[in-house]
Amino acid sequence: MTLSKLSANVPEGAPGLESEEPCRITLKALDEEWEIVYAEKGSGSRRLETQNGPCRLVVTGSESLEATGKLLRGWLAGHVRPFLEARLDLLSGRHGMTCRRLCVRLQKTRWGSCSAKGVVSLNGKLAFLPLALVDYVICHELCHTVCLDHSSRFWNLLEKTLPGSSALRKSLAGAGRLVPSWASPNAAAGRKPRGVLFVDLQAASPLISRPGLEPAAFGLPKGRAEGKIENGEPGG
């Protein structure tokens, strides 16, 4: 499998590093500030309710950092998906580049990727970043629908699509510090995600993948080429 990579430092987080449960969530890309309220810390499993009046999340049930992190990650993935879908649709139409499908999940080490079949994957943790960096990641992946590698043709296309992309690329390298550790799937060490939400942009129908399900079930070749924004190296 041939891979093209753009690196960025997405923190994986680690269980046990936070001694207190989070009390506020700042989603820079969405210009939202969410307050987290903890109530009824008695018996029973943890539960989360959303109050949209003021942006508030109410967590109830027995106290557990691990359980709270799991609830918040589930909420984050669902909350940010419509925003990323709308942003991708906007930039896709603006620049005349289309993708076959959008996948949103909380990836460990990459901000996004694009397969040879035009499937764009975006990290839900992009919500913690400034909007300009979110647009950079999306434009980067859209450019991979035209040029999958990281040749000079690709970088010229990206700069033409998003002037000033070089400076944004450098900013992205340090953006991982904006992501709280609870947002990492690694907060539940050793556990696999239950599913990945795919949005078919042509059929407008969501598809849910499960661990162990072959990519071919969603029209993806097993040996697909990809363009990725991953951690570690500078590059695309």
**Ranges of each domain in the chain:** 3-16+80-230
Query: What does the alpha-carbon distance between residue 46 and residue 65 come to, in Å, rounded to a whole number?
Result: 10
| Three-class SS state of 187 | helix
Contact 72, 25 (CB under 8 A): yes
Unique residue bearing structure tokens 């998906």:
81
3.90.1300.10, 3.40.50.300, 1.10.3720.10, 3.30.2010.10: which CATH number matches 3-16+80-230?
3.30.2010.10
Q: Which amino acid is at 33?
A: E
Question: What's the burial of 36, exposed, middle or buried (CB within 10 Å: 0-12/13-18/19+)?
Answer: middle
Percent of the chain whose predicted confidence (pLDDT) is above 70:
67
pLDDT at 41: 63
Query: What does the alpha-carbon distance between residue 210 and residue 58 come to, in Å, rounded to a whole number?
Result: 29
Contact 179, 111 (CB under 8 A): no
Beta bridge partners of 47: 60
DSSP letter (8 states) at residue 29: T
| Three-class SS state of 169 | helix
Mean pLDDT by runs of 10 across the 236 residues of the chain is 46 48 94 89 73 82 81 94 97 94 91 94 97 98 95 97 96 94 65 40 37 32 47 38
Contact 27, 127 (CB under 8 A): yes
